[in-house]
Structure 1
Amino acid sequence: MLRLTPLERRSSIALATLFAARMLGLFLLTPIFAVAARTLAGGDDPVRVGLALGAYGLTQAVMQIPLGMASDRYGRRPVIVFGMLLFVAGGVICALTNDVDWVTVGRVIQGIGAVSAAITAWIADATRPEVRTRAMAMVGGSIGVSFALSLVLSPMLVGAFGLSGLFWAISLLGFVCLLIAMFFVPDVPRSEADIVQATAHDVLGHRDLLRLNFGVFCLHFILMSLFMVAPGLLGRLGGYDSATLWQVYLPVILASFVLMVPAVFYTETRKAHKPALEWAVLGLAVVLGALPWLTDSFWLVVLAFVAFFVAFNILEALQPSLVSRVAPPAYKGLALGFYNTAQSLGVFAGGVLGGILARSGGASMVFWAGAMLAAVWLYTARGFKEAH
Structure 2
Amino acid sequence: MRKVSALLLGSERRAISGLAGLYATRMLGLFMVLPVLALYADNLAGATPLLIGVALGIYGLTQAVLQIPFGVLSDRLGRKKVIAIGLLIFLLGSVVAALADSIAGVIAGRALQGSGAVAAAIMALLADQTREQVRTAAMATIGISIGVSFAVAMVLGPWLAAWVGLSGVFWVTAVLALCSLVVLWKWVPAAPRRVRHRDVSMDRKQFKSVIRRPDLWRLDLSIFALHLVLMAIFVVVPFRLLEAGVAIEHHGLAYLGVMGVAFVAMVPLVIVAEKTYRMKAMCLLAITAIMLSLFGLGTPASSGLWLFAWLLIFFTGFNLLEATLPSMISKLAPAGAKGTAMGVYSTSQFLGAFLGGTLGGALAHYGGQEAVFIGSALLSLGWLVAMWKMPPPPPLSSEVIALDDDTHDAALDALMLRLADVAGVEDVMVVPEERLAYLKVNRKQLDQDALSRLMASPSSKEK
TM-score between both structures, scaled by the size of structure 1: 0.95
Residue identity opposite 2:334 in structure 1 = P
Unaligned runs of 5+ in 1: none
Does the 8 A contact of 2:223 with 2:348 survive in 1?
Answer: yes
Residues 121-158 of structure 1: per-residue CA shift (max 9 Å, x gap): 22222223332221111111112111111111111101
CA contact (8 A) 1:198 1:330 kept: no
CA contact (8 A) 1:155 1:246 kept: yes
One-letter identity of the residue aligned with 1:278: L
Distance 1:146 1:365 in 2: 29
Alignment correspondent of 1:95: 98
Aligned to 1:352: 358
Instruction: State the secondary structure of the residue aligned to 1:245.
Output: helix
Report what 2:45 is aligned to. Answer: 41
Indicate which of 10, 28, 39 corresponds to 2:14: 10
Indicate conservation of the 8 Å contact 1:67/1:117, yes or no.
yes
Name the CA distance, whole Å, in 1 between partners of 2:51 and 2:156. 24
2:305 aligned partner, one-letter code: W
CA drift of 1:22 comes to 0.6
Question: Are 2:380 and 1:374 equivalent residues in the alignment?
Answer: yes
The CA distance in 2 between the partners of 1:100 and 1:188, in whole Å, is 40
Match runs of 1:151-170 below 5 Å: 151-170=154-173
1:115 is displaced (CA, Å) by 0.9
- How many Å separate the matches in 1 of 2:334 and 2:100? 46
> Taking structure 1 as reference, are residues 192 and 115 closer, same or farther at Cα in structure 2, changes over 3 Å only?
closer
- SS of the residue 2:133 aligns to: coil
Q: Give me the TM-score of the superposition, normalised by structure 2.
A: 0.80
Comparing both chains, which one has the higher relative contact order based on Cα–Cα distances under 8 Å and sequence gaps of 6 or more? 1
Deviation string 1:47-76 (CA, Å, 9 cap, x unpaired) is: 111111111111111101111111122221
Once the 2 structures are TM-superposed, how far is the Cα of residue 362 of structure 1 from its aligned partner? 1.5
Q: CA deviation at 1:346?
A: 0.7
Tell me the secondary structure at the aligned position of residue 316 of structure 1.
helix
**Match in the other structure for 2:134:** 131
Query: 1:313-371 CA distances to partner (integer Å, 9 max, x unpaired)?
Result: 11111112222222123222122121111111011101111000011112211111211
Post-superposition CA distance 1:24-59 (Å, at most 9, x none): 01000101111111121123x101111111111111
Assess if the C-alpha contact under 8 Å between 2:328 and 2:393 holds in 1: no
* Residues 170-185 of structure 1 mapped to structure 2, 5 A cutoff: 170-185=173-188
1:249-270 Cα offsets, whole Å, 9 max, x none, are: 1211111111111112222222
Amino acid at match of 1:18: L
2:145 counterpart of 1:142: yes
| Cα pair 2:124 2:197 within 8 Å, conserved | no
Kept in 1, the 8 Å contact 2:332–2:393? The answer is no
Superposed, 1:236-275 pairs within 5 Å as 236-241=243-248, 243-275=249-281
Deviations 1:61-119 (A, max 9, x none): 11011111111222211111000000000100111111111011111111111111111
- 2:72 paired with 1:77: no
CA distance in 1, matches of 2:196, 2:149: 34
1:203 corresponding residue in structure 2: 210
Structure 2 residues without counterparts, runs of 5 or longer: 396-463
**1:64–1:340 CA contact under 8 A, matched in 2:** no
Number of residue pairs matched by the alignment: 386
Alpha-carbon RMSD: 1.8
Contact 2:70 2:120 in 1 (8 A): yes
| Distance 1:149-1:384 versus aligned 2 partners, 3 A rule | farther
Residue 327 of structure 1 is aligned with which of 327, 330, 333? 333
Q: Would you say the 8 A contact 1:322–1:387 is kept in 2? A: no
Query: Does structure 2 retain, via aligned residues, the 8 Å contact 1:228–1:351?
Result: yes
Q: Is the 8 A contact 1:140 1:320 kept in 2?
A: no
> Which structure has the greater CA radius of gyration?
2
Q: Secondary structure at the match of 1:56?
A: helix
Distance 2:270 2:296 in 1: 24
Aligned twin of 2:66 = 63
Q: Is the 8 A contact 2:151 2:259 kept in 1?
A: yes
Equivalent residues in 2 for 1:291-302, closer than 5 Å: 291-295=297-301, 297-302=303-308
Letter in 2 for 1:7: S
Residues in 1 aligned to 2:102 and 2:391: alpha-carbon distance in whole angstroms: 45
Alpha-carbon offset, residue 8 of structure 1: 2.3
CA distance in 1, matches of 2:391, 2:122: 28
Q: State the Cα deviation string for residues 228-247 of structure 1 (Å, max 9, x = none).
A: 01001111222522x22113
2: CA distance, partners of 1:128 / 1:322 = 23
Structure 2 CA distance for partners of 1:327 and 1:108, relative to 1, 3 Å? same
> As a proportion of its length, which structure holds more helix?
1
Given that residues 61 and 351 in structure 2 are in contact (C-alpha distance below 8 angstroms), is that contact kept between their aligned partners in structure 1?
A: yes
CA contact (8 A) 1:198 1:331 kept: no
Q: CA deviation at 1:193?
A: 7.3
More strand by share: 2
Counterpart Cα distance in 2 of 1:159 and 1:120: 35
Q: Distance in 2 between matches of 1:384 and 1:94?
A: 45
Partner of 2:430: none
Aligned-partner Cα distance in 2 for 1:212–1:296:
30
